[in-house]
Amino acid sequence: MTPLNLHELTAIQPPPPLWLIVLSGCAALALVAYGPAWHATRGLITIAHEGGHALAAVLTRRRLSGIRLHSDTSGVTLTRGRPTGPGMIVTAAAGYVAPSLIGLGAAWLLAAGHVTLLLWAVLALLACMLLMIRNFFGAVALLVVGGAIFALSWFAPPEVRAACAHAGVWFLLLGGVRPILELRSKRRRGRTPDSDPDQLARLTRVPAGLWVVFFLFVSVAALAAGGYMLIGGHLIELTAR
């Protein structure tokens, strides 16, 4: 394979055929819906979740102390600053919606034909996270994921890059919904007293259940909008024929 030409970074790539976009979405849905596959891939959603906390902390000028990713697909982001106030609220609220919002932004880039730019943007975000990782497993996880994306962007043909990028974006959009549904189920059994919505309830006096509904609304809306971005152009063409 010929290594990636750096001039291709901002090049616009024609979209793959509709059947390939749909097939990549079905593959992502299978990973999210099938229990063993979800358990093996859920860590990717955790990376996006903790990355959302970290980015929100930086944007609200909280001090980011570190990020930990665990083998049970859980994670924690440590920040310093006022224990209350808008910065803490935004930081706590960013985690569960981050995978869906990242997926939405990635869908926008794919719809514009910027496949390679998307892959390198993800690499840049992973590199920033790696600087703040504070445990061995988390570092290995980010290096493995980053290495796979680098190899894909540098050596794979454009068609393969496009197919894998679409599958990854579908996975973020679909995978962003399932943890919220799991959280809702666990909360009903009283198993998550320190979850993000429970912390937000203590910070804002808005019931934790309403925060869960808010997270679910954002994730489903992102899935609908992102899905339309990925296949909308093809559907318009088919309708016009």
pLDDT tens for each residue of 77-90? 999 999 999 999 99
* pLDDT at residue 45 is higher than 50: yes
- Name the token pair of 12: 């616009």
Amino acid at 65: S
- Name the token pair of 3: 């290594």
Q: Specify the pLDDT at position 1.
A: 47
Q: Specify the pLDDT at position 15.
A: 84
For the segment 203-216, the average pLDDT, to the nearest whole number, is 96
Q: Which of 54, 93, 77, 84 is nearest to 210 (CA)?
A: 93
Q: Which residue has the tokens 């959603």?
A: 45
For the segment 116-130, the average pLDDT, to the nearest whole number, is 96
Could you tell me whether strands 75-80 and 63-69 are parallel, antiparallel, or unpaired per DSSP bridges? antiparallel
Say what the pTM is.
Answer: 0.94
Percent of the chain with pLDDT over 70: 93
Phi, psi of 177 (to 5 degrees): -85, -40
pLDDT tens for each residue of 5-23? 566 677 788 888 999 999 9
Specify whether the CB–CB gap between 90 and 79 falls below 8 A: no
pLDDT-derived band at 115, boundaries 50, 70, 90: very high
Please state the separation of Cα 56 from the chain's center in Å: 14
